[in-house]
Structure 1
């Protein structure tokens, strides 16, 4: 068993004073030595954090003890160390930026648990629709799924016409952890799709609970692991190296900070080209040293986890006991 845990979660549950709760939540993470990203909005919470097992257990128990968040479902993975280098707890307008005119507390697609999804996905009347960004599904996606060439969920209305002809089908939306599908499936319903479902807990939960079969490639995650394996039944590779075209599933950020593109690079090309995606990127005078991971956190020696936390009096906080 590995000593650290990674927690992925979200919940749509009204928060009356997001700014005040952001401070409380930031202090909770500081007290438990957690790192990661948490978004607080009036509509709920969305987070991915990492920490020692005991600290993560205490974090989950604390959130579950709050009536607003009692129904949070955590996707839990093991890791050898922190998967983040910083802690950010921020207030935003939405817990997943979409600009879609929907309220998932009022209407959303029918939730399918992982095992239900596994039995349902191969029905000839079912169409799987990927609600993630193009760079995410480039490295991994469900077999025969419909994908959109979109950069984020805000672009969904520009692509909905691509599946207009499927309105007589059973549509199952999916994403990494389930959060995008809450609004995406609601939007499909608003656009006249009648039989709309969503994979509850997303790709990650499906891999943990149902083995991940028929998910081809790797699943992109938003921490320094970059991608993770989810298919433990019939894994395969669907992506190719951006440099040489050979099958590969290692996704990196280009070492050129001016580029910073998410690209698939095989291990050989990664080292041969210093983690860059083009020869032009190799000439960037600010190129970052390539360490084989292709992940470049913005860690600095001056960083403190207290950064970003101010008490309501406006004074910089001291470390909590």
Structure 2
């Protein structure tokens, strides 16, 4: 769950030229790529606005399905993507596929449509969001991976749908949240638990993701890495919202960014005896596109160079370049990691100390005073990167090291 460094901005003209050459070549070759056709709502590749030359999009999907020869499957995908402008992470194993990638719109959607032609993947939910500055990933990593998620989940019965939670559509999820919140006084809704209806709202993400956006009533996870999540695996713990819960009579509503973490974790909870498990189908990203920000507060953290997306990003016709979602004054859940003051710009930054690299929220004053570091100690570190004028991803260390060496040689 590490966010890769952003692609250099000056790479886009070259990528656009290469993309135009590839499109021209494919248009004139025999048996060129057929025009994309929209499919049923929720299953097609219809997001991202009107197509234009050089438009980039980010595509996310996953699917649990038996794959007899995953390494041969990887080779097939590599052959299809050869010559296409796609960057990202695409992992395949015997349990299915997990993909997050960016690319020129034509190339990105062609891959999704090609995949859906295979009966094993025909029902896959393809999610699309805009990227305004070229690629959101530095390169393509398409390979066999023993576990589709960090932490090792290949031993879980993920292919068996009866072991996973029951998926709720975005509209069903919204109604369930409204029903839950309408009968609970704010003072009694501790840890997201509706004591009257025995409903619990569980955020199955990392703490830093919750910090910039979450559903009302969800407790902040106390972990910063999904593989460290222990919800439902302890008998008594103040930090575990499932501790002491009636496993047979409590409805547990689980959500994450795109849905895969909930599907994985629900199998763990199912094996531990939790009976009434429900997940938000397609995760928060699918919900924001379908229902808007009803019940949602803040932005959505994403694991690519964009870092954070406002709810309006899922309706591309309404987004302007450089838009940052600002919280209303009444919303004060986001705070500076250093001084704990209110933060209105919901976008993380990495500590300028390369050997720390902590992902954190910072107010402008602390960012300036500590030169982009997360604490005073880090300001004395030997490998310090420059402070970004905006909350962007850092490049590789050698870029800053070589620049510093060049400046010293000219001094």
TM-score, normalised via structure 1 length? 0.85
The answer on whether the counterparts of 1:275 and 1:290 sit within 8 Å (CA) in structure 2 is yes
Structure 2 Cα separation of the partners of residues 251 and 117 of structure 1: 28
Name structure 1 gaps, 5 residues minimum: 302-321
Q: Give the structure 1 partner of residue 83 of structure 2.
A: 31
Q: State the secondary structure of the residue aligned to 2:88.
A: strand
Structure 2 Cα separation of the partners of residues 208 and 277 of structure 1: 34
Q: Give the structure 1 partner of residue 245 of structure 2.
A: 166
Q: Give the structure 2 partner of residue 111 of structure 1.
A: 167
Q: Give the structure 2 partner of residue 75 of structure 1.
A: 127
> Greater share of strand residues, 1 or 2?
1
> Residue 217 of structure 2: which of 128, 144, 148 is its match?
144
Question: 1:231-250 residue pairs with structure 2 within 5 A?
Answer: 236=331, 238-248=333-343, 249-250=346-347
| Alpha-carbon spacing, 1:90–1:272, altered in 2? closer, same or farther (3 Å) | farther
Name structure 2 gaps, 5 residues minimum: 1-48, 181-193, 235-239, 314-324, 400-411
1:164 positional shift:
3.3
Q: Give the structure 1 partner of residue 146 of structure 2.
A: 93
Q: Give the structure 1 partner of residue 297 of structure 2.
A: 216
Q: State the secondary structure of the residue aligned to 1:265.
A: coil
> Residue 44 of structure 1: which of 81, 96, 106 is its match?
96
Q: Which moved more, 1:143-152 or 1:165-174?
A: 143-152
Question: 1:231-310 residue pairs with structure 2 within 5 A?
Answer: 236=331, 238-248=333-343, 249-291=346-388, 292-298=390-396
Structure 1 Cα separation of the partners of residues 206 and 358 of structure 2: 13
Structure 2 Cα separation of the partners of residues 10 and 201 of structure 1: 9
The answer on whether the counterparts of 1:32 and 1:59 sit within 8 Å (CA) in structure 2 is no
Structure with max Cα Rg:
2
Structure 2 Cα separation of the partners of residues 197 and 275 of structure 1: 40
The answer on whether the counterparts of 2:95 and 2:158 sit within 8 Å (CA) in structure 1 is no
| Alpha-carbon spacing, 1:294–1:207, altered in 2? closer, same or farther (3 Å) | same
1:263 positional shift:
0.5
1:300 positional shift:
7.7
1:271 positional shift:
4.1
- Count of aligned positions: 301
The answer on whether the counterparts of 1:22 and 1:40 sit within 8 Å (CA) in structure 2 is yes
| Alpha-carbon spacing, 1:27–1:258, altered in 2? closer, same or farther (3 Å) | farther
1:52 positional shift:
1.6
The answer on whether the counterparts of 2:58 and 2:130 sit within 8 Å (CA) in structure 1 is yes
TM-score, normalised via structure 2 length? 0.67
Q: Which moved more, 1:200-209 or 1:152-161?
A: 152-161
Q: Give the structure 2 partner of residue 128 of structure 1.
A: 201
Say if 2:229 is the partner of 1:156. yes
1:104 positional shift:
2.5
1:189 positional shift:
1.8
Say if 2:295 is the partner of 1:198. no
Structure 2 Cα separation of the partners of residues 157 and 198 of structure 1: 18
